[in-house]
């Protein structure tokens, strides 16, 4: 596990777990490090220095998340003892009395970086695949292996919190150097020599970057003037950032950091361990580890991609429609190095779509994130046109014209004989069943839904929709395209509204139903943000327009199917009335649930109180659980109907695509965390109080009875 090589008094410790492809903080590591540290202490009189490096492609992968996700509250004492032992070992290495240097040959995240932080000097190989950082906050945890205590003592409280701990950023070597968590970036083949050089030129305490026994805190304790100004406003800023949502990790990190500045190193370290244990034994960390580690890993590993299709890489894409979505899709493709032909009804209209990329790039230049030369190369990849014949040579087509079946069929017909004969054909429709669009298309097996989210440059998800005739080749290639443009693909079967729009609809319509019941609209919106939704339901309904539910209902009625159509949903009475009686159609029309004054921020329309409010004070917990349950129950229905194909797709799709609160780990993980039987019981009580839409689907009931969870 830890190889030992003594070369003229310089010991190289090579981390190398034989049982796994990466080193993690498992029992074998703790045992091996214990023995290694003992030997170092015993032989220290003969040592000149220690180099810590790794035989794996990553330096050290950090905590073992499989083990972490199984921790129960009753394990708290044991977890505390283990983490204290890990830290005792690192502290022994740090206070050994000889220089210790980390030669970081691969990514060092979480516990991996914490090992390196316990060394006196960190040298990292100059390789852009390497990531450094403590991303624990993104998994509902804090860096409990000394990460909080040491970064605060190295960088000062403010920089440690703002640049490292609360962001959880994964940094490339140059970025890590500028932040100060590593000391040198050297060519990969010089790494071990550079470490050796640092040891041989090391000059006792005089060159030690800080006093390793006591660690002075740069910027001083909270009583120093700079910090005194920063600290009082900090909790309020944090609350604002979190919008009142109950995320315990940022609070715990901040508390551990601030409390740690008041005491000596050892006490600070124990405080950090206690906060770590409180997070690790809670449900939120389990939810977030499930979604952001296991589910994401499964999707990125291609669990939903048909495996027998060769890997595909798009060269030239034709984007049909240069409106809001088409312009964003063109930007995302060009960013990934794909040539784009951007087609609209005229060259002028298409050029306006290209301007969108120009504006985004100009902002990046202003922020110093990209150079003028890169902008030129980027823009040269986008060719605007009004002529379908310019799509010659395209091996991929993504359509984003108006939401109209006839128009979509027409634009595909126009390019049928122009593009490559086996070009992948994709539609970005947000509501129309994919199979209905393939009428008249001579290659329906090459046709697939590729549903982006707005704004395309920022939204990480793409929903791939498999029509009745879509081939495995098309699914695999569409999956590869989404990965090529660095987004996350979920794969679902065709249905009205697919998965995301259907489930999103249940949330916003639940908000409208609450208005119908006479609940104070301020309470509705506040309940959502405090439950962790990134945006509240009435504001979101305004964004997508209040006529959308009507359109979906009309289309569903015309097609004679009701799934996902909200036909008898109580929220429909409210959207219908706002549109028909008050001509309030949403944000684009300047009036919806909100007013949009030109001279200030949006505010809820006073007419909501006049025409709808009936002093019906539904308890806050009911408001919140109705939104969460509506989405989770619809997700189960999608699974039951075969629209969803996997649990990871459900969890990740609900968080990345439609804002299901990340702290619950996604729409199905929320049910797991709640407990399936308790969830069924609560669904029934919500159904009795608020309507049959909360009745638990048969699949949920049978799963609860079988004592299973969604996995």
Q: Mind telling me the catalytic residues?
A: 451
Residue 365: enclosing H or E segment and its boundaries? helix 347-366
Residue nearer to ligand NAI on the CB measure, 77 or 558: 558
The number of residues making up the chain comes to 711
Phi, psi (rounded to 5 degrees) for 6: -105, 115
Which of 566, 563, 546, 560 minimizes the C-alpha distance to 493?
563
Question: CB of 499: closest distance to ligand NAI in angstroms?
Answer: 13
Question: CB of 429: closest distance to ligand NAI in angstroms?
Answer: 5
Q: What residue ranges bind ligand NAI (CB under 6 A)?
A: 320-326, 343-345, 349, 400-403, 407, 411, 428-430, 451-452, 454
Residue nearer to ligand NAI on the CB measure, 219 or 318: 318
Cα–Cα dist 646/607, whole Å: 43
Residue nearer to ligand NAI on the CB measure, 143 or 537: 537
Cα–Cα dist 69/47, whole Å: 40
Cβ-based neighbours of 150, under 8 Å, separated by 6 or more: 114, 117, 118, 215
Q: Rounded to the nearest 5 degrees, what angle is found at the Cα of 55, between the Cα atoms of 131 and 295? A: 45
Question: CB of 473: closest distance to ligand NAI in angstroms?
Answer: 24
Residue nearer to ligand NAI on the CB measure, 427 or 484: 427
Question: CB of 387: closest distance to ligand NAI in angstroms?
Answer: 10
Residue nearer to ligand NAI on the CB measure, 429 or 635: 429
Question: CB of 589: closest distance to ligand NAI in angstroms?
Answer: 14
Q: Which residues of 1-35 are buried (b: 16+ CB within 10 A; e: fewer)?
A: bbeeeeeeebbbbbbebeeeebbbbbebbeebbbe
Give strand pairing partners of 3. Answer: 14
Residue 163 CB-half CA count within 13 A: 18
Positive or negative: CA dihedral 531, 535, 539, 543: negative
Closest residue to bound ligand NAI by CB: 323
Residue nearer to ligand NAI on the CB measure, 320 or 527: 320
Cβ-based neighbours of 61, under 8 Å, separated by 6 or more: 22, 23, 24, 107, 109, 110, 111, 112
Cα–Cα dist 354/162, whole Å: 36
CB 73 within 8 A of CB 128: no
CB 110 within 8 A of CB 296: no
Residue 50: enclosing H or E segment and its boundaries? strand 49-54
Residue 289 Cα distances to 27, 296, 362, 442, 640, angstroms? 20, 10, 37, 45, 25
Residue nearer to ligand NAI on the CB measure, 231 or 349: 349
Question: CB of 138: closest distance to ligand NAI in angstroms?
Answer: 26
Which of 59, 249, 280, 24 minimizes the C-alpha distance to 148?
249
Question: CB of 323: closest distance to ligand NAI in angstroms?
Answer: 2
Residue nearer to ligand NAI on the CB measure, 183 or 457: 457
Cα–Cα dist 228/251, whole Å: 19
SS (H, E, C) 420-454: CCCCEEEECCCCCCHHHHCCCCCCHHHEEEEECCC
Question: CB of 582: closest distance to ligand NAI in angstroms?
Answer: 24
Question: CB of 662: closest distance to ligand NAI in angstroms?
Answer: 21
CB 305 within 8 A of CB 479: yes
CB 411 within 8 A of CB 401: yes
Q: How far is CA 20 from the centre of its chain?
A: 26
Residue nearer to ligand NAI on the CB measure, 309 or 360: 360
Question: CB of 169: closest distance to ligand NAI in angstroms?
Answer: 28
Residue nearer to ligand NAI on the CB measure, 302 or 455: 455
Residue nearer to ligand NAI on the CB measure, 343 or 569: 343
Residue 132 Cα distances to 115, 248, 659, angstroms? 12, 23, 28
Question: CB of 338: closest distance to ligand NAI in angstroms?
Answer: 19
Cα–Cα dist 339/324, whole Å: 19
Q: Which two tokens stand for residue 141?
A: 């945890």
Q: Rounded to the nearest 5 degrees, what angle is found at the Cα of 151, between the Cα atoms of 148 and 157? A: 85
């Amino acid at each position: 596990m830890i190889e030992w090589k003594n070369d003229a008094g310089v010991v190289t410790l090579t981390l190398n777990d034989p049982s796994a492809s990466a080193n993690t903080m498992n029992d074998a590591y703790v045992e091996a490090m214990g023995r290694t540290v003992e030997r170092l202490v015993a032989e220290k009189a003969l040592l000149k220095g220690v180099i810590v490096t790794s035989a794996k492609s990553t330096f050290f992968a950090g905590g073992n998340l499989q083990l972490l996700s199984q921790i129960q509250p009753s394990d708290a004492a044991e977890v505390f003892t283990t983490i204290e032992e890990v830290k005792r070992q690192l502290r022994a290495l740090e206070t050994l009395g000889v220089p210790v240097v980390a030669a970081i040959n691969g990514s060092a995240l979480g516990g991996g970086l914490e090992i390196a932080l316990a060394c006196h000097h960190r040298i990292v190989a100059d390789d852009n695949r390497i990531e450094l950082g403590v991303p624990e906050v993104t998994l509902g945890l804090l860096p409990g292996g000394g990460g909080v205590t040491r970064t605060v003592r190295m960088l000062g409280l403010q920089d440690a919190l703002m640049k490292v701990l609360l962001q959880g950023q994964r940094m490339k070597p140059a970025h890590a150097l500028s932040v100060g968590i590593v000391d040198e970036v050297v060519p990969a083949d010089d790494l071990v020599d550079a470490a050796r050089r640092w040891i041989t030129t090391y000059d006792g305490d005089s060159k030690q970057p800080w006093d390793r026994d006591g660690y002075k805190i740069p910027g001083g304790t909270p009583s120093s003037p700079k910090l005194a100004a920063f600290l009082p406003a900090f909790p309020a800023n944090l609350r604002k950032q979190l919008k009142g949502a109950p995320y315990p990790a940022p609070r715990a990190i901040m508390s551990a950091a601030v409390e740690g500045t008041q005491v000596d190193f050892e006490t600070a370290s124990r405080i950090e361990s206690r906060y770590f244990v409180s997070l690790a034994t809670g449900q939120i960390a389990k939810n977030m580890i499930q979604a952001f580690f296991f589910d994401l890993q499964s999707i990125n590993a291609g669990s939903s991609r048909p495996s027998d299709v060769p890997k595909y890489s798009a060269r030239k894409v034709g984007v049909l429609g240069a409106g809001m979505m088409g312009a964003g899709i063109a930007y995302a493709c060009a960013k990934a190095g794909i040539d784009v032909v951007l087609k609209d009804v005229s060259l002028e209209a298409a050029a306006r779509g290209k301007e969108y990329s120009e504006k985004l790039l100009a902002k990046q230049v202003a922020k110093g994130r990209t150079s003028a030369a890169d902008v030129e190369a980027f823009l040269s990849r986008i060719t605007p046109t009004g002529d379908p014949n310019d799509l010659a040579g395209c091996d991929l087509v993504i359509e984003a014209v108006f939401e109209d079946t006839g128009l979509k069929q027409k634009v595909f017909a126009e390019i049928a004989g122009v593009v490559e004969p086996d070009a992948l054909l994709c539609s970005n429709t947000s509501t129309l069943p994919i199979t209905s669009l393939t009428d008249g298309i001579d290659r329906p097996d090459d046709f697939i839904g590729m549903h982006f989210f707005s704004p395309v440059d920022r939204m990480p998800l793409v929903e791939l929709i498999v029509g009745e005739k879509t081939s495995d080749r098309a699914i695999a290639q569409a999956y590869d395209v989404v990965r090529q443009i660095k987004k996350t693909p979920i794969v679902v079967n065709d249905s009205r509204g697919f998965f995301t729009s259907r489930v999103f609809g249940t949330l916003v319509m639940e908000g409208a139903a609450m208005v119908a019941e006479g609940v104070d609209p301020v309470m509705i919106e506040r309940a959502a943000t405090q439950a962790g939704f990134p945006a509240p339901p009435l504001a979101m309904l305004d964004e997508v327009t209040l006529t959308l539910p009507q359109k979906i209902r009309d289309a569903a009625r015309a097609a004679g199917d009701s799934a996902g159509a909200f036909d008898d949903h109580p929220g429909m009475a409210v959207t219908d009335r706002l549109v028909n009686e008050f001509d309030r159609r949403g944000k684009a029309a300047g009036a919806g649930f909100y007013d949009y004054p030109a001279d200030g921020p949006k505010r809820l329309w006073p007419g909501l109180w006049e025409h709808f409010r009936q002093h019906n004070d539904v308890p806050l917990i009911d408001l919140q659980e109705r939104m969460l349950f509506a989405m989770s129950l619809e997700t189960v229905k999608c699974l039951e109907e075969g629209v969803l194909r996997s649990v990871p797709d459900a969890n990740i799709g609900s968080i990345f695509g439609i804002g299901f609160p990340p702290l619950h780990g996604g729409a199905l993980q929320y049910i797991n965390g709640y407990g399936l039987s308790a969830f069924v019981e609560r669904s029934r009580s919500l159904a009795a109080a608020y309507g049959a839409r909360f009745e638990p689907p048969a699949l949920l009931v049978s799963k609860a009875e079988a004592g299973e969870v969604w996995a």
